């Protein structure tokens, strides 16, 4: 396996910590509860043993697209394929240890 290029990452943060979210739906770097805390996920630094969390479809032909929702810090990651489209969004509350996460997913097209 190879590291993703740095341009394939979006940042999700809450002014205390940040997560780097890859276009493949993975969180490859995250320190909790603060940016100077030990890392929970660090695949960005060590691909084999750094750890990560990923949400992604099982299809192999999906193309990925990542963007910020206009005028927000909400990161939208979309997977587009012949059989359908799916996306998920995350904002700064996704990085907290509280249970008020604003993560979500939506099926945009297909079955």
The string of pLDDT tens digits covering residues 50-106 is 999 998 888 878 899 999 998 888 899 999 988 888 887 776 565 544 433 344 455
| Cβ pair 77, 91 in contact under 8 A | no
Burial (CB < 10 A; 0-12, 13-18, 19+), residue 109, is exposed
CA–CA separation, 86 vs 99, rounded Å? 24
Q: Is the pTM of this model over 0.85?
A: no
Length of the chain: 111
CA–CA separation, 5 vs 88, rounded Å? 21
| Cβ pair 78, 66 in contact under 8 A | yes
């Amino acid at each position: 396996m190879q590291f993703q290029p740095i341009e394939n990452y979006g940042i999700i943060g809450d002014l205390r910590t940040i997560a780097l979210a890859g276009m493949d739906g993975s969180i490859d770097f995250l320190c909790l509860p603060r940016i100077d805390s030990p890392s929970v996920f660090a695949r960005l630094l060590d691909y084999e043993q750094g750890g990560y969390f990923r949400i992604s479809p099982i299809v192999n032909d999906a193309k990925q697209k990542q963007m910020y929702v206009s005028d927000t810090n909400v990161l939208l990651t979309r997977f587009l394929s012949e059989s359908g489209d799916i996306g998920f969004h995350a904002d700064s509350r996704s990085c907290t240890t509280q249970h008020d996460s604003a993560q979500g997913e939506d099926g945009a097209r297909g079955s």
